[in-house]
Chain A
Amino acid sequence: MSVGLLRFITAGSVDDGKSTLIGRLLVDARGAFEDQVSAAQRDNERRGGKGIDFALLTDGLKAEREQGITIDVAYRYFNTLRRKFIIADAPGHEQYTRNMVTGASTADLALILVDARQGLVTQSRRHAYIAHLVGIRHIIVAVNKMDLVDFKQDVYDRICSEFRNFFEQLGPIDLRFIPISALQGDMVVERGSNLSWYTGDTVMETLETIEIEQQDASHLRFPIQLVNRPPLPELGDFRGYMGKIASGRVSVGQSIAITPGGRQTRVTSILTFDGERTTAFAPQSVTLTLAEDVDTSRGDMITGIDDAPSAKTQFEATICWMSPKPMKAGGKYRLRHTTRLVKALVSGIQHKVDPNTLAKHASPSELQQNDIARISLKTLLPIACDSYRENRETGAFLLIDDNNDTAGAGFIE
């Protein structure tokens, strides 16, 4: 990922002040324009409110503004001098677990809000678990509404240790804490004057300077998107393999393998509109040409010869079920993995995970919308995959149902 671009997700329970925090970041960094702010203000006054309700700025759909809840993920953008930010603003309710998974899937950092009066609540556990499941390695816990606990340090310290204890069960993660008052602005963009005992960075400083740890996915993974054979006589029998490098790097002259199949050849050139390259790295989009005409196409993967992934037709995965139609063992779907679409069968459901308590419930008969479970799958054709823990790009998949809906999001074990 680019150092100049940080994608993060915000999660919080109802009334944790998430909209206020986002609104403040946007307005202070000029990610929201005056006319958009005054439109939100008009909407609020029309329904009898006073001043600006930041949620009206971020909730994009009529139904959301009418019901006063965030239903769907919204993406927000702002720049500072140091970075460009993309916020996935996801709803916090339990029935929208799938929306949080969606928003988190492209995020490198999670900003989890808690109410200082409540501390670690069931919903915060779920938010932390989802961030961990989706492979986010940086979590900022913003302890909000410090103004309502008289800015007391001992309240903040207690919440920090509750969170640390919970995260110990999940594994190593870069976990940071910031006491804030989104309403009054303390420690969001400005330091304010109420939290002088806190010496760490503000939310904005942290977002601007945090170094995002890259997965140690140094292995070359290049899923072929398209084979380019332009209908231009001057290009002769040109054949280019187009794709976006999922991980690692590739160089001209390098020996490569194609999975599945294992055929080997060499990279002869790396083409871009802006000229030939001698080397390219993730996440660049490039076109490769190979020394030999190999019979390969969309869905195959170009990798190094010593570190090729195994091509599997059976594997275990964690799945977040998204469809209102329940999933049963024996269900048949299309499975989308990198650029490949294959037929897949759910061969078993091992256990369901309760994201609130991390408890496992063995052998459920079916999965409902928002359930998270360990399942086993069989595919008709082999897929070249890594575990999701090692590689978010080559360890992720979708299940698509007969209606063409995206029914499940999977994480390969």
Chain B
Amino acid sequence: MSEDWSHLQALEAESVYILREVVAQFRNPVLLYSIGKDSSVLVHLARKAFYPGPIPFPLLHVDTGYKFPEMLKFREEFTKAIGARLIVHRNEEAIAEGAHPLKLGVARCCGALKTGALLQALGKYQFDAAIGGARRDEERSRAKERVFSFRDSFGQWDPRNQRPELWNLYNGEIHEGESMRVFPLSNWTERDVWQYIQEQNIPIVPLYYARQRKVVFRGTNWIPIDNPEDVREGETVVTEWVRFRTLGCMPCTGAVKSQATTIEEIVAEAGAATRSERETRVIDHGANTMEDKKREGYF
């Protein structure tokens, strides 16, 4: 084709097509809104897909109670500014029982506050399709996942028995009680996401920008400390120039050392990164792998 057509435009056109397929093929879809940069891109694409109409599905935020205050503030402002319908769901029972990664271990804590809460919400609102911002370049089991990824009536994924997915013919046929997870950003990389945020001027949580923060070094990560009780024995709180490459729960999300305070500097950093962004997520590195968590119904 002789037309001037960038790879970001190609990715955008594909994602818009996927979002429209969801609305065409499902009765009651929802967008899983995590407040992170990929969610920001996903919501932006949904606005494009259904223009001049509004986004024809609600956004669902699964709140663990451990999200950064900056994230919650951004969530309110961003969804209000674009007029999106927002549903917030928390696993109140687990939160009341004091679920915490230190107490339960990371796997069980995630299981209750994220996977459990998500499955509760999908059941409560009877959603038959959940749109997520996961990308195949994030993690090796995700590299195998379909764009339209089938879930049985227990919300579980069977990676050995996935539907073949050919061309752009997405098979969204399901029986009562079953559901689909849909990943419109499957073919995007971290670098594509950052370039697109820059090009389209998409708002993101300020935590992605570097500033001086109080942190401790734990394992291989800089963990932010907001509450002195979170400091473990032998750890020293220091002040460092850091930023977040991905955002999760406070106790389990590491920061990276960085001086990138503008979107241009972040794009440059993403282009030169030698380590994957998921490295800063404690949940990816236990004995319970991403494949295990996904089988159980994780995002």
Which residues of A line the B interface, CB within 8 A? 1-5, 30, 33-36, 57-63, 71-77, 79, 83-84, 86, 98-99, 101-102, 105-106, 214, 225-226, 228-232, 235, 238, 240, 242-244, 271-274, 281-285, 287, 298, 322, 334, 336-339, 392-393, 396-398, 400, 404-406, 409
B6 contacts A4, C-beta separation under 8 Å:
yes
B160 contacts A106, C-beta separation under 8 Å:
no
Pick from B10, B51, B141, B174: contact of A1, CB under 8 Å: B10
B17 contacts A76, C-beta separation under 8 Å:
no
In the complex, besides A35-B275, A285-B12, 14 extra interface pairs with C-beta distance below 8 angstroms are A2-B5, A4-B5, A4-B7, A34-B275, A61-B160, A62-B289, A74-B144, A77-B189, A84-B189, A225-B17, A229-B53, A281-B3, A282-B1, A400-B171
A84 contacts B192, C-beta separation under 8 Å:
yes
Least Cβ distance of B117 to chain A in Å?
26
Given contacts A3-B5, A405-B163, are A62 and B13 in contact (CB under 8 A)?
A: no
Q: For A334, give the chain B residue with the smallest CB separation.
A: B173
Least Cβ distance of B257 to chain A in Å?
15
Interface status of B50 (Cβ within 8 A of chain A): yes
Pick from A232, A281, A338: contact of B1, CB under 8 Å: A281
B140 contacts A285, C-beta separation under 8 Å:
no
Interface status of B69 (Cβ within 8 A of chain A): no
B173 contacts A242, C-beta separation under 8 Å:
no
Pick from B141, B163, B276: contact of A35, CB under 8 Å: B276
Listed A/B pairs (5) with beta-carbon separation below 8 Å: A33-B276, A61-B141, A281-B1, A285-B12, A285-B14
Interface status of B274 (Cβ within 8 A of chain A): yes
Q: What number of B residues sit within 8 Å (CB to CB) of A?
A: 58
Given contacts A3-B5, A30-B274, A101-B166, are A285 and B16 in contact (CB under 8 A)?
A: yes
Q: Which residues of chain A have C-beta atoms less than 8 A from B162's C-beta?
A: 72
Least Cβ distance of B136 to chain A in Å?
5
A74 contacts B143, C-beta separation under 8 Å:
yes
Pick from A35, A231, A271, A404: contact of B174, CB under 8 Å: A404
A284 contacts B13, C-beta separation under 8 Å:
yes
Q: Which residues of chain A have C-beta atoms less than 8 A from B10's C-beta?
A: 1-2, 4-5, 283
Pick from A102, A214, A244: contact of B166, CB under 8 Å: A102
Least Cβ distance of B17 to chain A in Å?
4
Closest 8 CB pairs of A and B: A230-B53, A4-B7, A60-B140, A33-B276, A2-B10, A273-B48, A285-B16, A105-B166
B167 contacts A392, C-beta separation under 8 Å:
yes
Given contacts A36-B140, A225-B20, are A396 and B163 in contact (CB under 8 A)?
A: no
